[in-house]
Every structure is written in C-alpha cells, then in structure tokens.
Amino acid sequence: MNVLQVVPELNVGGVETGTVDLAKYLVGRGHGSIVISSGGALVAELQKAGIPHYTLPVHKKNLWTMVRCITKVRKIIIQENIQIVHARSRVPAWIAYFACRHTQAAFLTTCHGYYRRHWFSHVMGWAKLVIVPSTVIGQHMVEAFGVPKENLRLIARSVDLKKFGVPRADVPGKSHSVISIVGRITPLKGHTYFLRAMATVIRSLPYVKIWVIGGVPEKKASYKQELEVLVRQLGLSEQVEFLGNRQDVPQLLAQTDVLVLSTTTQEAFGRVILEAQAAGVPVVATRVGGVIEIIDDDRTGILVPPKDPDAMAQEVVRLLRDRKLAETIVKAARKKLEERFTLDMMAHKTIGVYEELLRSQNILVIKISAVGDVVLVTASLKALREKFPNASIYCLVGKESREVLARCPYLDGLIVFDPKEKDRGLAGIWRMAQKLRLHKFDKVIDFQNNRTSHLLSFLSFPPQSYGYAGKFGWLLTHRLKNRHPPMGPVEHQFQILKMLGIHFNHPALELWPSRNDEHYIQDLWEAEWIGQQDQVIGINISASGRWPTKNWPLLHLAKLCDLLTAKNYRVVITGTQKDKASARKLAKMTKAKPTIVVGRTDLLQLAALIKRCKVYITPDSAPMHVAAAMGTPFIALFGPTQALRHLPPAKHFSVLKMDLPCAPCYSSTCRVKTHDCMQQISPEQVFKAVVQLAEKRR
C-alpha cells in the first residue's frame, strides 16, 4: 500500500520521531511511504532512507495557505497513487481531509494531543478510524468531540530499542549526577515547576547537572526568557544548561541518571518516558493523562502530583540516593517496554489499521421520494451489494417509504429523513447531515438528485459522491449531465452506477414481504372466499392523490369488472385509505361484485396480495413497481406521463396509452379539460390485454 503521512514539521519531537520511524518501517516491509511537512532536521533522515518528502506550509493556520495546500496535497495523492492519508495534527488534518475529496485515498488521523473543545479540533475525529495513543485520549475524543467508541483504535506510541540501546557501561564515568527534562519549551511542559524542584534537589545533592533538552517554539521565546530569569533567581546558573533541539538524545539519555517529566496538563502519552526507559534511565513523572498507562507507580517509574515541586524533588533525591531502587525500576520498566511499547508492535498495529481502513467501505444511497420510486431503487441496491460485498451500505429514505426497504437483504441499515416535520428546513438538513457524518461514509450515491439531496450529500463530507448535475450538482465530486435520451428509471440510475464500474444488465426489482404479510393475505383471501383460486385479477383503483390525471375513469373500471367476471375471473380492487370513497362509488356502478380490499393492506401486504394475482392492472403508480418486483404480469395505463421514463423492468407486462398531441403533459390537471389520454383507453382494450397476459402465465 502507499501511505502519505502529513505532520506540521520534522524537528526533534515525539510525534516527528514516530512519523519517521513508521515511514522507515513501511518501506522496510515493502510498502510505499511519503511524508509531507514544513521541513526540519529529521528530513535528512527520511532522505537517507530513500523516502520522498514534500515541503509544504502544512503548519500554518492561515486560511488561504491551507486552501492552496489542499490543492497541492491532492495533486501529490493522485501523482503518487496514495491509498492512505494519515494526518497527525489539526492543520494537516484539515488540509488532508479536503485533499482526499475527489480522490480514492482513505483519510486517517492520530490524536497526539489532549485537544481543547474548539471547532478547529473536531477534524481530528472526522476520520472513519481514529488512532489514539492512550485510553485517556480516547475517552476525551468520545466526550469532547462525539467520536463513536467503535471508530477508535488504541495504539500506544513506541520506541526503537536499538536506537536508544546505548550501553550505560560504555559511558565514561561522571563526577556529577545528571537530571534531564526533554520536550518542547512551553508552559504545558511544566518547566517552572521542574526548576523549582531542582533548586530543592541541589540543596540535598549539590553535585548535580541539570539538562533542559528541547527546542523553543517561535511563539514561546518570551517563556524561554522567563525560565532563564528563574534559573538565575533560584541560583541554578552553574547547574542548569539549556541544550536546545538535539538529535543525539539517545547519547544524552545514556549519560542521564534521572529523567523528569513535569507536564501540567493531560499528557497524551509521553514518548520521552519510553525513550528514557529504553536507555536504562529511571523516570519521575507527573500523574497526568496517558502517563499512568506507561508507569506503574513505584514499579516501572515514580508518579508525583502535577505542579508539586516538593514531591518531585523528594522522589528525584530518593532515586539518586537509592541506586538499588533505581536499578529495580529500570529492569521492570524495560520488561514492560519490550512487552508493550516496541516499534515493531506500534508499526504492526498501525499497518493493521491501514488494512482495515482499506477493507472497509461505508456507502450511503439517497432516495427520499415516494414509495414507488423507492421500490425502483432495489435493483441498484442489489448491484451495489454485488460490487461491494463487504461494504456497510445504508439508505436514506423518507418517513413514508421506509417500510419498502425494512427487510432489504442488501442493506445494513436505514436512516429516515422527515422533511415535513422534525427535519424541516435548513436546520433540519443540517441536523440530518450531522447524523450522516457519524457514519463516515466513503461514498454517497444520490439517486434523488434534487437540491436537498445534493446538500445532504455534500454536508455528510464523503470523499466521493455521485449523482446527476443539477442546480446544486456542483456539490458532488462525480456528476453526470442529464442529457441522456429517455430511458427507464432503473437504467437511469445505472448511468450513475456506471461511474463506480457497475453496468446495467437488465436487473429485476425486488420486495421482501414477511411470513406475517403472507399469512395476513391468506386470511384475507379466505375471509373473502377467494381461497386458492388462480384466476384472480387485481386492479389498483387510482394513482397518487397528487396526480388525478393518471387515474382511469371509474366508469371504465366498472365495465372492466363486468367483462372479467363474465369470463370467470375473480376481481380484487386495491387502494389506500384515501380511495375508500371511490371504491364505494365503483361498487355501485358495477354489476359484478368485486372483492374490495381498499385501505386494508400496507405496502408489503399489498406485495403479498399482488403476488397471488394472475394479472395486475394499474395506472402509473407505486403498485405498478410492486407488481414488477413480485414478478406478477401487469398492465400499465399511461396518460399524462411517458411510459419509457417510468416503466419498471419486468418480464411480462403490457402498456396501454393513447398517442395524443397533448400527451405526455406531466400536469396534475388536464389543460384541455377532456382527460382524453385516459378516457380513450377502453375497457375492451384492457380486457384483451388481460386475456393475453393470463395466457402467457399458464
């Protein structure tokens, strides 16, 4: 695999050293490894190992600088065929996150700090998988930034035992004990408390040297000056040396007798502790953050309260005076180090997370329209599952149409969108987008293709989103211009899927009524004295209430019922609650007595009913799609809409329509006031089509 790590800089430090160590390990195991940073002393080490490094200002919080970096990093991702982009700090994470869009690269973060609750820090939890170095940081990411626990991967930081294995016996004898503190010179590292503790140590053990190892960030120069003043005030000028950034830390630790970590805030981990332990140096550290996961107090090190110079001094003096205690602690620390914190362990686990990330795919399909349109998406869902068998696939559906996919075997879950009530308006869209982002979708496939769906696609922040270009289509990363000749609705969806390498092979629709649904229809059949008859013709009484122009006249329906009954067919009239008044009128108009079950079935019960029918008759509406999904021959009556654009894929069907100058008009009211497009479809035509389809099904 090809891995890109993005880190603010590559000067001496725990994060920087870990980046270089992992980069070299990856190359040593045959993987591709690239690093982007603003530069630093460790770049030479990468170059020596033959690892490409790109120098970019990925450490600057300036918005325009970050935008320019996004473009440059995206080019690097594409040029180097990067599969994993691993961000190790907040500014690099913002840049890397948006650089991954429009590419196939997966985004990953490692949280090296105890970030304060600030909008800028949230990006560290946006990756599908988030590496944390300690349980303390993991818990903080859950509580402060809402990262789901299942998205966290605990990988403790490590140390290269060979690098810090300078034998202490080889170090020339010293007339002084050396106490070191290693880390960036910032107030968080607690240098003032350390120096005050050293003033107390000097009073007990005057033959001590104190090394302050670490660079000074540009913005902390005044803090360094404060420390120098404090050194003079404490009378430590002869003992304290500020050594600055050093690349010979292993050699310096080999000459150190006690290492002190005096951090005052929740330390994410404390890699320098591991380095000291690898070098055979006992450690006194403050009891903060991830430090307690490294040090077992009085066994592998000594813990003291933060901001307590007296306790710190007391424990340092104890270790310097009691060399047997120091040796016992060093041995126990080394054993724990070899069991839990080696470079091989860290790198092996990190590669495991990379592989898990590459294996996993979270896919969202958006189809938030009416019931019939959601039935039409079932063929696409099956095709997606076949293409991505191990993916986690979800579908965003409307409240009224969720039952369509409730039992879909190709989905891992449904997310319900209710724009009429709780998800109303822009605020509702934003809340839904927040919910979608928790799923860390890699791909969003927008079959709805309207402004709302395009907004939801964008705001869920997937690396790739697919759909048709519309007014908001520019929000999608992959979009098609809707300039195709008229085609069926399922084939129209597959034009989008073609961008994912999925081709249209005349798939079938599906629905999944339960055994309870089947039993319900069986009981209904028996109650209406239909029994096991195989001469049942189902008729859908009307289309959507919003489309009265799609409806076939009731008078025609009544005459058809009489024609069918005369030929010994049993007629069953279906419809929704809103159709009950029409059903009563129909019953009075026909001589035959059809079985009327209007308003007595939900969608999946209707599917079970239609499955029992020899032929099903319907205007352009959801039950037409249900019939196609259940494999029942159907007759579709088209008037104001175009059959080619709305007809579902099916084996046995008949389309009846009138080729009039005004059709298709796509109007919910007849502009010429005649409704001829449906009026001119005669009962005799429909009856003839029924007989022909019934013959085919024998």
Residues 272 and 294: beta-carbon distance below 8 Å: no
Q: Are the C-beta atoms of 628 and 653 separated by less than 8 Å?
A: yes
At residue 412, does pLDDT exceed 80?
A: yes
Q: Extract the tokens encoding 334.
A: 């080394």
Q: Environment class of residue 660 by beta-carbon count within 10 Å: exposed (0-12), middle (13-18) or buried (19+)?
A: middle
Give pLDDT tens digits for 566-613: 998 999 999 999 999 999 999 999 988 899 999 999 999 999 999 999
pLDDT tens, position by position, 440-485: 899 999 999 899 999 999 999 888 999 998 778 888 999 888 776 7
Calculate mean pLDDT across residues 287-316.
Answer: 92
Distance CA 160, CA 253 (A): 14
362 touches 442 (CB < 8 A)? yes
Paired tokens of 204: 């007990």
pLDDT at 167: 63
Strand 32-37's sheet: what is its strand order?
Answer: 53-55, 32-37, 2-6, 84-87, 106-110, 130-132, 152-154
- At residue 697, the pLDDT reads 63
With 0.85 as the threshold, say if the pTM is over it: no
Q: Nearest Cα to 211, choosing from 253, 173, 171?
A: 253
The structural architecture, per CATH, of the domain 168-340 is 3-Layer(aba) Sandwich (3.40)
- Average pLDDT over the chain, rounded to an integer: 90
Q: What is the pLDDT of residue 391?
A: 92
Residue closest to 152 by CA, chosen among 101, 109, 118, 115: 109
Enumerate residues 6+ apart whose C-beta is below 8 A from 519.
none
Res. 104 pLDDT band, cuts 50 70 90? confident
| CA quadruple 121, 355, 271, 35: dihedral sign | negative
Strands 392-398 and 362-367: parallel
Phi, psi of 457 (to 5 degrees): -60, -45
pLDDT in tens, 106-137: 999 999 888 888 889 999 999 989 999 888 88
For the chain, give the percent of residues with pLDDT over 70. 98
* DSSP state at residue 553: P
**Helices (DSSP H) in 536-646: which residue ranges?**
554-566, 580-589, 603-611, 622-630, 643-646
219 Cβ partners below 8 Å, 6+ apart? none
Angle at 452 (CA atoms; ends 449, 453), nearest 5 degrees: 45
Distance CA 69, CA 51 (A): 20
HSE-CB of 469 using CA atoms within 13 angstroms: 9
Domain ranges of the chain: 2-154, 168-340, 361-500, 521-696
Q: What is the mean pLDDT of residues 550-555?
A: 92
Average pLDDT, integer, range 663-687:
87
CATH architecture, range 361-500? 3-Layer(aba) Sandwich (3.40)
SS3 of residue 585 by DSSP? helix
Is residue 625 a contact partner of residue 648, using CB atoms and an 8 Å limit? yes
CA–CA separation, 226 and 404 (whole Å): 69
Residue 225 or 485, more confident: 225
What pLDDT digit, counting tens, does each position of 514-542 carry? 999 999 999 999 888 886 677 899 999 99
DSSP state of 120: G
Q: Report d(CA 343, CA 440) in Å as an integer.
A: 29
First to last CA, the chain: 57
Distance CA 97, CA 81 (A): 16
Q: Residue 390 in contact with residue 359, Cβ under 8 Å?
A: yes
CATH number of 521-696: 3.40.50.2000
Q: Is the dihedral of CA 629, 633, 638, 643 positive or negative?
A: positive
Q: Which residues pair with 419 in a beta bridge?
A: none
pLDDT for residue 172 is more than 70: no
Nearby residues of 83 by Cβ (< 8 Å), 6 or more positions away: 1, 2, 3, 104, 105, 106, 358
For 72, counting Cβ atoms within 10 Å of its Cβ (0-12 exposed, 13-18 middle, 19+ buried), the class is: middle
Name the CATH superfamily housing domain 2-154. Answer: Glycogen Phosphorylase B; (3.40.50.2000)
What whole-number distance in Å separates Cα of residue 234 and Cα of residue 461? Answer: 54
Residue 17, number of CB atoms within 10 A of its CB: 24
Which residue, among 563, 560, 692, 663, has the nearest Cα to 618 in the 3D structure?
A: 560
Please check whether residue 38 is in contact with residue 1, taking contact to mean a CB–CB distance below 8 angstroms.
no
Predicted local confidence at residue 628, as pLDDT: 94
Confidence of residue 13 (pLDDT cuts 50, 70, 90): confident
- The pLDDT-based confidence of 164 (bands split at 50, 70, 90) is confident
Alpha helices in 411-488 (DSSP H): 425-437, 451-459
Is pLDDT at 170 greater than 60 in this prediction? Answer: no
Please give the average per-residue pLDDT across 551-557, as a whole number: 93
Q: Is the pLDDT of residue 490 over 80?
A: yes
Let me know: does 214 contact 190? Beta carbons within 8 Å: no
**Predicted pLDDT at 52:** 95
Report helix angle 323-340 to 309-321, nearest 10: 100
